[in-house]
Amino acid sequence: MSTTVTLRIDGRNVTVEKFSTILDAARTLEIPIPTLCHHPDLVPYGGCRLCLVEIKGAPRPVASCTTFVKDGLEVTTSSPRLERLRKTTLELILSDHPRDCMTCERAGDCKLQELAYFYGIRDPRFEGERRIYRTKDKNPCIARDMEKCILCGLCVRVCDEIQGVAAIDFAYRGFRTMVTPPFERELDCEFCGQCVAVCPTGALTGAMWAQKGRQDMRDVETICPYCGCGCTLTLHIRRNEVIRVSSRRETLNEGWLCAKGRFGYEFIHRTDRLKKPLVRIVPKSEAAALVKSGWSHERAASFFREVSWDDALDLVAARLGEIKERHGSDAIGGISSARCTNEENYLFQKFIRGAIGTNNVDHCARY
């Protein structure tokens, strides 16, 4: 039995795996079909009705994301009728959507805004009741603005199907339907932010993104500094500052991150970063006492005075030289870092072995 199916989309033949959807098949031909509730890693949902297509012989349009391909299907993805339906659907969504793109964190990265732009919807035809929700989140990671929620269910599904947490779900029915944690309590979850990553509008955004900028951003792809999974991060940079972190789906981690990877970047720009070489000016016992009880960063900083790089490096080189001379190379040890790069680790052990002359070099693999 054949495992593939051949159908015709917009006059072009395409052969795809059995149990593909019409949407999958169209995407292999790079035919654009608008969607708001679809994600390739989630179970098809058929909620937003934007992916409607016409099938020759079928009485009415069907959602391409939930319709399987069949041999010999003839599919049309765009026609005046389909575009009219899509525009009306968008107008209905927008009739109950805050028009505050001016200040919305998602502007420029919002699927709803982009579709409104393509369909030329400035003022929706429909005026009607509005959902008024009080934003009450106290959680520090995920800002929820439920008035912007279009009920596509992506967040609900990603939380369940990918993260396996199911911290949120639909509550109430009809016009009052909303996505919420149980009993409308505060969000209390793993804060992985997969929901933020899949949200097509400004309903879910990173709390720390607020007013950090939406334009003039530069993207740099790098690797997460935390655990050993090695997730690829896209750092969004504005004026020498990391203002957002995201991850592309075409990565080893498939775009999924954890709370640390997605939201844990603030340390980069903390004002208490070390900025100058330091030399200690108080007895070590004071430092030891501070570490054991009542730590204060200001006190710790007061133990040192700032010096120039040359002075600091000269001092360390001279003292290491003395110790090597007096006690031998093996009286010196180097502890390297699992947070540093391969290149830095290579250089570190080469320095300890080649310049100091000892094999006393290790890192934190055991902790």
CB of residue 249 vs another protein: minimum separation in angstroms?
13
> Residue from 28, 48, 139, 176 that binds another protein (CB under 8 A)?
139
Q: Which is nearer to another protein, 9 or 257 (CB)?
A: 257
- Using CB under 8 A as the binding rule, the residues of this chain from 219 to 248 that contact another protein are 220-232, 235, 237, 240-242
Query: Which 260-299 residues touch another protein, going by CB under 8 A?
Result: 260-261, 263-270, 272-280, 284-285, 287-288, 290-292, 294-295, 297
Neighbour count for residue 87 (Cβ, 10 Å): 19
Residue numbers 21-80 binding another protein by CB under 8 A: none
The residues near 269 (Cβ < 8 Å, ≥ 6 apart) are 241, 242
**Given the structure tokens 């279009």, which residue do they identify?**
150
For another protein, the closer of residues 133 and 303 by Cβ is 303
Work out the burial of residue 270: count CB atoms within 10 Å of its CB; fewer than 13 is exposed, 13-18 middle, 19 or more buried. exposed
Name which of 11 and 294 has its Cβ closer to another protein.
Answer: 294
- Binding residues among 146-185 for another protein as defined by CB under 8 A: 161-164
Token output for 30 = 């790079």
Instruction: Give yes or no for a contact between 201 and 110, defined as CB atoms under 8 angstroms apart.
Output: yes
Which DSSP string corresponds to 77-145? ---HHHHHHHHHHHHHHHHTS---TTT-TTTTS-HHHHHHHHTT-SS-S--------------SSEEE-
Q: Are 97 and 107 in contact (CB under 8 A)?
A: no
Tell me how far apart the alpha carbons of residues 163 and 229 are, in angstroms, rounded to a whole number.
Answer: 16
Q: How many residues bind another protein (CB under 8 A)?
A: 122
- Residues 156-169: b if buried by 16+ CB within 10 A, e if exposed: bbbbbebbeeebbb
**CB-wise, 129 or 325, nearer to another protein?**
325
Is residue 338 near another protein by the rule CB under 8 A?
yes
Closer Cβ to another protein, 102 or 365, answer by number: 365
Residue 259 makes contact with another protein by CB under 8 A: yes
Nearer to another protein, 98 or 334 (CB): 334
Task: Provide the minimum distance between the beta carbon of 253 and another protein in the complex, in angstroms, as a whole number.
Answer: 5
Q: Which of 287, 220, 281, 218 is nearest to 247 (CA)?
A: 220
Q: How far is the CB of 245 from another protein (least distance, A)?
A: 10
Cβ proximity to another protein: between 6 and 358 the closer is: 358
The secondary structure of 274-314 as a DSSP string is --S-EEE-S-HHHHHHHHHSS--HHHHHHTEEE--HHHHHH
Closest to another protein by CB, 83 or 221: 221
User: Is residue 15 within the footprint of another protein (CB under 8 A)?
Assistant: no
Element (H, E) at 244: strand 241-246
130 scored as a contact of another protein (CB under 8 A):
no
Minimum Å gap between C-beta 363 and another protein is 4
- Residues within window 186-225 making contact with another protein, judged by CB under 8 A: 190-192, 207-208, 218, 220-225
Interacting residue with another protein among 42, 85, 101, 347 (CB under 8 A): 347
Least gap, CB of 187 to another protein (angstroms):
11
Q: How many CB atoms lie within 10 A of CB 248?
A: 13
Are the beta carbons of 349 and 334 closer than 8 angstroms? yes
* Cβ-based nearer residue to another protein, 58 or 364: 364
Smallest separation (angstroms) from another protein to the CB of 240: 5
Residue where the block lists tokens 């800002």: 143
Stretch that binds another protein, among 11-19, 68-76, 89-97, 330-338 (CB under 8 A): 330-338
